[in-house]
Amino acid sequence: MTGVLVTGGAGFLGSHLCDRLIARGEDVLCVDNFFTGSKRNISHLLDHPYFELMRHDVTFPLYVEVNRIFNLACPASPIHYQFDPVQTTKTSVHGAINMLGLAKRVKARILQASTSEVYGDPEIHPQPESYWGKVNPIGIRSCYDEGKRCAETLFFDYFRQHRMEIKVVRIFNTYGPRMHPNDGRVVSNFICQALAGEDLTIYGSGLQSRSFCYVDDLIEAMLRMMDSPPDFTGPVNLGNPAEFTMLELAEKIIAITGGSSKLCFKPLPEDDPRQRQPDISLAKKSLGWVPTVALDDGLKETIAYFRRMLAQ
């Protein structure tokens, strides 16, 4: 039995992961319910002999034969995960149960794509994996934050109870080509607004900070994590520790697009974290990984992608 299952494989990260797996000669089964994923992201793979696409929702059991599972299925932007919060929680929790059940049956190694949102609005900066987080369990972001936290719980309970081979990565802000143009995330928002000649929307003072990791760097880290020794389970932070304020990001995007957009300030959304920066010491030590793509270089690639897409 060989093969790699990628849930959420038609999404932003999932489609890039499928590309890398196919390039490595893997037999890839891409599963997606297309709530936020798009066939456009994987259309170039549809005729590849080692690629198979299946429409499926991970909140229902899946019966396939694979030896590795990357569980990426879940809407990841506030606009999308707050659209149907009950379904978002079910995707994280029922999805984890179903994929862990599959991994247990076929004795597959399984990786969970968790998130920096498990840290909530952090009191420690930067955030190490040992930090338990400060999360509102009943807020409008809780469906995603607590769903991912519960998924991590399930992974480690399956590991302890069934001695399964698990891997857990906590993904910090990632950007790049194939981002959804209407996902409400700051990079895609700013780029689309700048290309349309609109003012860039800044929430709050614009001094809240984020760390932005280019998608190629992130996928490399995920592959290294999956290939790491069985006794290294994580969780491990994956992200770029270079930190930028929203004002700095806006200025970079206006400069690269060559536009004349101004800044428009609006109130900060509920439970929006003020700071987010990964401590990647563990990834450096255990995976030999550090991000290599500078923000300016990654933004140029991402802006070029959005120019092409919006011109169609």
pLDDT, position 42: 97
* Domain assignment of residue 151, given as a range: 4-175+213-240+274-291
- How many residues in total does the chain contain? 312
Concerning whether 158 is annotated as a catalytic residue, the answer is no
Given the residues 144, 158, 175, 214, select the one marked as catalytic: 144
Q: pLDDT tens digit string along 60-118?
A: 999 999 999 999 998 876 777 788 889 999 999 999 999 999 999 999 999 999 999 99
What amino acid occupies position 274? Answer: R
Nearest to 215, CA basis, from 309, 115, 307, 301: 301
Nearest to 228, CA basis, from 288, 175, 271: 288
Question: Residue 195 class from Cβ within 10 Å (0-12 exposed, 13-18 middle, 19+ buried)?
Answer: buried
State pTM to two decimals: 0.94
Q: Which residues of the chain have pLDDT under 70?
A: 1, 77, 270-273
Residue 168 maps to a domain = yes
CA distance 258 to 134: 39
Residue 196 maps to a domain = no
Cross-strand pairs, 53 = 30
Number of domains in the chain: 1
Residue 235 maps to a domain = yes
Fill in the DSSP letter of residue 166: E
Residue 298 maps to a domain = no
Two structure tokens written together for 88:
């978002």
How remote is the C-alpha of 80 from its chain's centroid?
A: 13
Output the domain CATH number for residue 229.
3.40.50.720
Residue 202 maps to a domain = no
Residue 250 maps to a domain = no
pLDDT, position 269: 73
Residue 247 maps to a domain = no
Q: What is the C-alpha end-to-end distance of the chain, expressed in Å?
A: 42
Residue 231 maps to a domain = yes
pLDDT, position 272: 66
